Amino acid sequence: MAIEKILEIRGEDWAKGYSFQNGLPYGGLFSNATSFDPFKLYGYMVPSVEPVEVGAAQISKAIRYIAPGQVSGTNFIFSWADNGSTPALYKTNVLSGVTTDESGNVTVTSSAARGIIVYGGYVVYARNTEIRSVTTALATDTQILTTNVTSGEHPFTIGADKNIYFPNGNYVGKINSATGLAATTGNDAQAFAMEPGLNIRHLVNDGRYLVIIADDGSTSTSGKVNCVIAYWDYTSTTLTQRYDFQAAGLTAGFLMDDAVYVFGKDYLYVANLSTSPRTVFPFIGSGATITAYPTSPGQISQQGNSVYWGSGSKVYAYGSFAAGAKKIVYQPYTFDDSVTAFIQTGIVPFGATSGSDLFAVGFSPATSLSAGITTAQMQLPSPYKFEFARITMRSVMSTGNSVNFSINCRGGASSVTGTSTFSFSNDGAKQSYIFKQSGGGTAVDWFDEFFVTITSNATIEKLEIWGTRGDDQL
């Protein structure tokens, strides 16, 4: 029988993202796709670069929240950190990575880092039971709210009315941007009340309403709890709209494409004022490709038409190349430790880790990581015998470039090809390479389902797999 092409991945295929589960390419093509941003160079598998540490001499505590801000026309990020009992403030130049420890300019007595935002010429930061501010020039540290402030997390949000809002137990707290950035005037830790027992996790400005994301569980809760996505108009004593549903708990939200997306511990949800929450990606199930959701609003950041979130040592993303296009889940960045905070600055992504480190993605030396993809399990209409695979690179291989390739079947219990390598050191400056079975006696003769695994630190243009169709009885 004639040899047939049984799989080709090229062009837009590289931007199909994660599948919902490992067992079938449903919702996406890959069961794994690490250190690979499909929108960096659309139509290719492009490895991300290795994060470079900045501020190593200054940063000694784990960063919990990062806020962007300008000082005299220069872009910085302000990082609010702690070691479990004493906070610290760091300032990093976005372009150079130069970092200074500014803890001496704020109040860092026994407490924890609970939230930070830069707005109206001030750095507003939350400690255990108080909100304080300092100018962006890091002068005149002032207490601006303490009465009724809880010891929980207080991630800040700028509302549609230009005031600053924050979760405060079952209350929405407010900082008046006209009168309360450097004084207590107009500030209220209990500007709006939800029922007792409810924990507000995050607030989102949808352009008209303040969207309240809450549940009545604890951070360690397992099983279902009551979850709430509600809409408040900033002035009423009642909600405009409220949706209650049973789920494992909620952690954070964001606005994208005129809809509010909410991270739960079980699913990523989407909702709006007139539509109840719907699931768009699962984080649960024995076959789920991703079980990693953010545990803090400080781990998420939006840029363009994607939202990014840290979980473990990886940063995942959900979004599309342009508004209106299909949204996918992908995993563009990998760090050396668990990500405690993450931000896209518009120029450089910064990730803080539990090792009390801060990293910038793209700073020199911009060394490529090894991107890795594994397809979800592919099902064939008949048994096939493997003949060859061909990988075509975007350009010829150069010093240090290499690609590892394998095909497996039976859920990974058996091999179709074994692992083979295409590299500059072994094969020279070639653009394309033919992979055969690598030998060893472990490969099956016939297969009707399979998955492909590739790791590469160079840009791949196309993958082809060819085989010969066999009798159905095989």
The answer to whether 284 and 50 are in contact (CB under 8 A) is no
Q: Residue 269: what residue type?
A: Y
- Tokens matching residue 241: 């709209």
pTM tops 0.75: yes
Give the mean model confidence (pLDDT) for residues 351-374.
95
Q: Which helix (H) or strand (E) holds 344?
A: strand 339-344
What pLDDT, in 10s, does the model give residues 47-57? Answer: 999 999 999 99
- Distance of alpha carbon 100 from alpha carbon 84, whole angstroms: 21
What pLDDT, in 10s, does the model give residues 91-119? Answer: 999 999 999 999 999 999 999 999 999 99
What per-residue confidence (pLDDT) applies to 440? 55
| Domains 3-47+371-469 and 52-360 agree in fold | no
Nearest CA to 315 among 282, 339, 347? 339
What pLDDT, in 10s, does the model give residues 244-265? Answer: 999 999 999 999 999 999 999 9
- Distance of alpha carbon 416 from alpha carbon 466, whole angstroms: 12
Q: Which fold has domain 52-360?
A: Methylamine Dehydrogenase; Chain H (2.130.10)
Residues, the chain, total? 474
Average pLDDT over the chain, rounded to whole?
95
Burial-class residue 430 by CB neighbours within 10 Å (0-12, 13-18, 19+). middle
- Distance of alpha carbon 449 from alpha carbon 438, whole angstroms: 19
CATH class of 3-47+371-469: mainly beta
Domain locations in the chain as residue ranges: 3-47+371-469, 52-360
- Distance of alpha carbon 259 from alpha carbon 244, whole angstroms: 17
What pLDDT, in 10s, does the model give residues 398-421? Answer: 999 999 999 999 988 899 998 999
